[in-house]
């Protein structure tokens, strides 16, 4: 045989290996096994110890009869066991299903049944809600109690503790025949209009986006990462695998108390953390009382467009903000507002305005584009024409679990349809204007709720703001603003409306302002669907 014909099937083992984030742990445990991997309260583990615990979890799951592709659900705070699950479950051939800790028993039971969960790992802090969910679940589950001495006695529904589960594991871990497109995680999106959808993610995408996080954020080796972002949220945006890549330190913590976070930042010399804009705001507000001499802290924020005023305040507080964008269906953040050095010469306000853009795709993203959803033609990069943000490439989900209709709709035309409406700037920078469901159509005019919120955040007493559509007899819909005020500050709704009229055209301004605490998800996203319902009730009663 000559030429290319002679190499047709040579080297299938030598020149190909499926991409999986499990390889990142293997390398770091081998090369940097003596370095600290995890810190939680007064305990710590090296990378070699952490890898051993992950292997033990995999062996225990295999010994319990877990088969390739079966789901292992876990309900837990940001504790070491959830980090271990990020590696141990897929090492056993299973699929990680991390459940939102703020869900009610009915929602958890739905997920356990729909996911066809085989093993359920439960943080003892959530014993009550987990017990109620298990009682409602139609499946027979192996339930493992992740014990915590501070939480009291053993839950009545679990006869096996996590540490016993690991200690009794055998030494043999069956190696599943891994395909890089096999599922690694099943994440359920919030079900605001019905049951949540299960997003299937694969090993290849998880590996690539873990690397993409490191590249886009320019993360150094041996970084110290604080887990202020819930690990259940899209697998912690793939950061368990990113930190393994960089042989960094995972600082675990329950909850997002800003004062606790600041204490951990100083105590462990934290270099990086992630959080929604509301978390950034909490840290900025709490930083006013911080006097410790600390190096700049790198914060990645995503989940909503942070107002330019917040970005400016964060910078002034010594926080180096990186703005990213993504969705569960694309493995979390996979676009970044890539910074240009020449932008440093601009005014602070201009810098903040540029930084508020969602940006361009990670180096591992094949394509992020703004297209006309009807014609699938790219909109002009003029910063004005609105289209829908769409993704294509290796970091797009496999699909929605057991929901072919939703999968086909989301992936039609060869792109993942995000549902986010945006403009496209020169250089390919995307700027979100709204979710398609959040655009307010008043008298035939499209109004971006984000533009109104950006103005509201400039008011000195506004701490958080959300604008939704409210029914209006004449105009069809008008903007209704809900705001939280800064602590110990008060606001007058009429004065807030007048402030908006100084910065917006009249039809864009809220016709009503309600001052209240805003409902938020565990990751800090404002739950606009609740506010829409309240706006409807207020409109109907007035």
Specify the pLDDT at position 191. Answer: 47
Q: Is 15 left (phi over 0), alpha (psi -120 to 50) or beta?
A: alpha
Contact 222, 249 (CB under 8 A): yes
Would you say the C-alpha torsion 520, 523, 524, 528 has a positive or negative sign?
negative
Helix (H, G, I), strand (E, B) or coil at 357: coil
Specify the pLDDT at position 1. Answer: 40
Question: Could you tell me the pLDDT band of residue 9, with boundaries at 50, 70 and 90?
Answer: low
- Residue 426 Cα to chain centre, angstroms: 27
Question: Could you tell me the pLDDT band of residue 531, with boundaries at 50, 70 and 90?
Answer: very high
Beta strands in 104-220 (DSSP E): 117-123, 142-146, 160-161, 183-188, 198-202
Helix (H, G, I), strand (E, B) or coil at 253: strand
Q: State pLDDT tens for residues 190-231.
A: 644 457 899 999 999 999 999 999 999 999 999 999 999 999
Q: How many residues comprise the chain?
A: 542
Helix spans in 288-321 (H): 308-316
Q: State pLDDT tens for residues 86-97.
A: 999 999 999 999
Question: 77: which 2 tokens?
Answer: 């705070």
pTM for the full predicted model: 0.84
Find the distance separating the first CA and the last CA of the chain, reported in whole Å.
85
* 99 vs 348: CA distance, rounded Å: 40
Question: 338: which 2 tokens?
Answer: 């890539």
- Return the closest-CA partner of residue 371 out of 360, 359, 384, 385: 385
- Return the closest-CA partner of residue 72 out of 116, 30, 110: 116
User: What is the chain's alpha carbon radius of gyration, rounded to the nearest angstrom?
Assistant: 24
Residue 521 CB neighbour total at 10 angstroms:
17
Specify the pLDDT at position 342. Answer: 96
DSSP per position, 435-492: EGGG-EEETTEEE-HHHHHHHHTTSTTEEEEEEEEEEETTTEEEEEEEEEEPTT----
Q: Going from the N-terminus, what domains does the chain have, and what CATH number goes with each? A: 45-178 (3.40.50.980), 206-436 (3.40.50.12780), 439-541 (3.30.300.30)
Out of 35-39, 175-179, 249-253, 342-346, which region has the weakest mean confidence (pLDDT)? 175-179
pLDDT tops 90 at residue 309: no
Q: Is 41 left (phi over 0), alpha (psi -120 to 50) or beta?
A: left
- Can you tell me the mean pLDDT for 168-182? 82
H-run or E-run covering 495: helix 493-501
Question: 31: which 2 tokens?
Answer: 């090369």
Q: State pLDDT tens for residues 455-509.
A: 999 899 998 999 998 988 777 789 999 999 988 888 999 999 999 999 887 888 9
Question: Percentage of the chain surpassing pLDDT 90?
Answer: 65
Q: State pLDDT tens for residues 283-307.
A: 988 886 555 567 789 999 986 666 6
């Amino acid at each position: 045989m000559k030429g290319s014909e002679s190499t047709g099937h040579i080297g299938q083992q030598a020149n190909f290996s499926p991409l999986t984030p499990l390889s990142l742990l293997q390398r770091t445990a081998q090369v940097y096994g003596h370095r600290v991997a995890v810190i939680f309260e007064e305990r710590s583990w090296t990378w070699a110890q952490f890898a051993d615990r992950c292997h033990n979890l995999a062996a225990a799951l295999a010994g319990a009869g877990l088969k390739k592709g079966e789901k292992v659900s876990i309900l837990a705070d940001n504790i070491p066991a959830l980090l271990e699950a990020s590696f141990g479950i897929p090492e056993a051939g299973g699929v990680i299903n991390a459940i939102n800790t703020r869900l009610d028993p009915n929602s958890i039971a739905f997920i356990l049944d729909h996911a066809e969960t085989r093993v359920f790992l439960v943080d003892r802090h959530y014993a009550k809600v987990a017990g109620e969910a298990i009682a409602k679940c139609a499946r027979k589950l192996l339930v493992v109690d992740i014990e915590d001495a501070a939480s009291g006695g053993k839950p009545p529904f679990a006869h096996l503790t996590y540490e016993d589960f690991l200690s009794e594991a055998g030494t043999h871990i069956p190696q599943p025949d891994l395909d890089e497109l096999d599922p690694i995680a099943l994440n359920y999106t919030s079900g605001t209009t019905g049951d949540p959808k299960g997003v299937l993610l694969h090993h290849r995408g998880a590996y690539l986006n873990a690397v993409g996080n490191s590249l886009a954020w320019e993360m150094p080796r041996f970084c110290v990462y604080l887990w202020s972002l819930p690990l259940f949220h899209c697998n912690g945006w793939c950061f368990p695998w990113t930190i393994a890549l960089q042989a960094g330190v995972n600082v675990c913590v329950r909850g997002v108390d800003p004062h606790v976070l600041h204490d951990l930042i100083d105590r462990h010399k934290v270099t990086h953390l992630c959080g929604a804009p509301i978390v950034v705001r909490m840290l900025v507000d709490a930083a006013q009382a911080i006097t410790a001499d600390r190096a700049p802290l790198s914060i990645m924020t995503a989940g909503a467009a942070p107002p330019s005023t917040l970005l400016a305040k964060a910078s002034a507080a010594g926080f180096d903000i990186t703005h990213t964008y993504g969705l569960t269906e694309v493995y979390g953040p996979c676009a970044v507002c890539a910074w240009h050095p020449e932008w440093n010469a601009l005014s602070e306000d201009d810098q903040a305005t540029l930084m508020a853009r969602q940006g361009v795709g990670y180096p591992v993203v094949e394509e992020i584009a703004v297209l006309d959803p009807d014609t699938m033609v790219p909109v002009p990069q003029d910063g004005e024409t609105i289209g829908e943000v769409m993704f294509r490439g290796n970091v797009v989900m496999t699909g929605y679990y057991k929901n072919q209709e939703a999968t086909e709709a989301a992936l039609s035309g060869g792109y993942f349809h995000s549902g986010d409406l945006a403009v496209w700037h020169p250089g390919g920078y995307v700027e979100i204007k709204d979710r398609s469901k959040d655009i307010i159509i008043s008298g035939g005019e499209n109004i971006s709720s984000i533009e109104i919120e950006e103005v509201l955040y400039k008011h000195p007493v506004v701490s958080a703001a959300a604008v939704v559509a409210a029914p209006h007899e004449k105009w069809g819909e008008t903007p209704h603003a809900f705001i939280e005020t800064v602590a110990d500050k008060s606001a007058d709704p009429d004065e807030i409306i007048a402030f908006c009229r100084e910065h917006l055209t009249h039809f864009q301004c809220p016709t009503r302002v309600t001052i209240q605490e805003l409902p938020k998800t565990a990751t800090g996203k404002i739950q606009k669907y609740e506010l829409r319902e309240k706006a409807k009730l207020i409109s109907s009663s007035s």
